[in-house]
């Protein structure tokens, strides 16, 4: 989830959200050569003027995309390294909601710790449209300074100071899809994603899986690229930097 590897991480539009079909991409898919109507590439394009169309009536209460399920009360616990430093990352889907752009967003609390001590805290805001696309509408990010948590400059909220939402997980991801995940130039939050396809993922402490969806994520402002692995019915199981400094986190456990 945003807020771990790339902690970088206005619109009162009432047009209907175009959307793609919800569900998994089982089997083999052809790569997308152009933006399909209703795809993440067309809803949150990475090229040209960015102005996503958002209609609160097109969103649902639950985030149940199979690759990004957010059931309140669920905790995802990761362990990994950032550079030479061992860290843990605990992400908890809270029972709280935050209204942004007229949409009730699910709030996820993300805490990064070193030696059992929290060093980063982020509250991420997500919402799902009727076609299964999971939108990212902002984050409140805090970093430790002189023993106290202070609000980070890359915090952002859709509709404030030019910030606009992006898609964090398509409802029907297909190889070749490219889409914007967040848009807040003042805070240098400009992450983009590219669906690579289905692969056999590396083993993680949580278990061994036969197939996963893999995405490549990057920011045009940062000299690094990371890959993320998602398993249907579970969510993200692994993320690692493949270009840039060393960083990797693997899923250790899921609690309910």
Distance CA 194, CA 182 (A): 14
Task: With beta carbons less than 8 A apart as the criterion, state whether 139 and 6 touch.
Answer: no
Q: What is the pLDDT of residue 18?
A: 32
Cα end-to-end distance, the chain, whole Å: 18
Strands, DSSP E only, in 58-211?
59-60, 75-82, 85-100, 103-114, 117-129, 134-145, 148-151, 156-157, 164-169, 178-180, 182-183, 192-199
User: pLDDT at position 190, please?
Assistant: 93
Q: Which pTM does this prediction carry?
A: 0.86
pLDDT truncated to tens, each residue of the chain (256 aa)?
A: 564 444 433 333 333 333 333 333 333 334 444 567 778 999 999 999 999 999 999 999 999 999 999 999 999 999 999 999 999 999 999 999 999 999 999 999 999 999 999 999 999 999 999 999 999 999 999 999 999 999 998 899 999 999 999 999 999 999 999 999 999 998 888 999 999 999 999 999 999 999 999 999 999 988 899 999 999 999 999 999 999 889 999 999 999 9
Element (H, E) at 230: strand 225-231
d(CA 204, CA 208): 6
Instruction: Please report the pLDDT score of residue 50 as a whole number.
Output: 96
pLDDT at site 13: 31
**pLDDT value of residue 87:** 98
| Per-residue exposure over 157-182, b if at least 16 CB sit within 10 Å of its own CB, e if not | bbbeeebbbbbbbbbbbbbbbbbbbb
């Amino acid at each position: 989830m945003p807020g771990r590897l790339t902690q970088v991480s206005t619109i009162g539009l009432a047009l209907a959200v175009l959307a793609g079909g919800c569900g998994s991409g089982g089997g083999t898919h052809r790569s997308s050569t152009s933006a399909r109507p209703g795809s993440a590439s067309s809803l949150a394009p990475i090229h040209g003027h960015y102005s996503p169309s958002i209609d609160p009536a097109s969103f649902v209460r639950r985030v149940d995309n199979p690759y990004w399920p957010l059931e309140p009360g669920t905790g995802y616990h990761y362990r990994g390294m950032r550079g030479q430093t061992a860290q843990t990352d605990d992400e908890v889907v809270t029972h709280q909601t935050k209204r942004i752009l007229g949409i009730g967003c699910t709030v996820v609390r993300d805490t990064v710790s070193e030696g059992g001590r929290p060093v980063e805290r982020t509250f991420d805001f997500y919402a799902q449209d009727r076609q299964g696309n999971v939108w990212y509408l902002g984050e409140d990010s805090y970093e430790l300074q002189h023993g106290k948590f202070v609000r980070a400059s890359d915090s952002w909220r859709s509709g404030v100071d030019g910030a606009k939402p992006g898609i964090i997980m398509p409802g029907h991801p297909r190889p070749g899809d490219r889409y914007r995940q967040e848009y807040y130039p003042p805070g240098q939050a400009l992450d983009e994603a590219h669906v690579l396809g289905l692969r056999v993922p590396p083993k993680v402490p949580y278990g061994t899986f036969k197939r996963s969806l893999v995405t490549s994520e990057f920011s045009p402002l940062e000299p690094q690229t990371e890959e993320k692995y998602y398993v249907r019915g579970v969510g993200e199981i692994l993320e690692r930097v493949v270009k840039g400094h060393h960083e990797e986190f693997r899923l250790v456990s899921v609690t309910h």
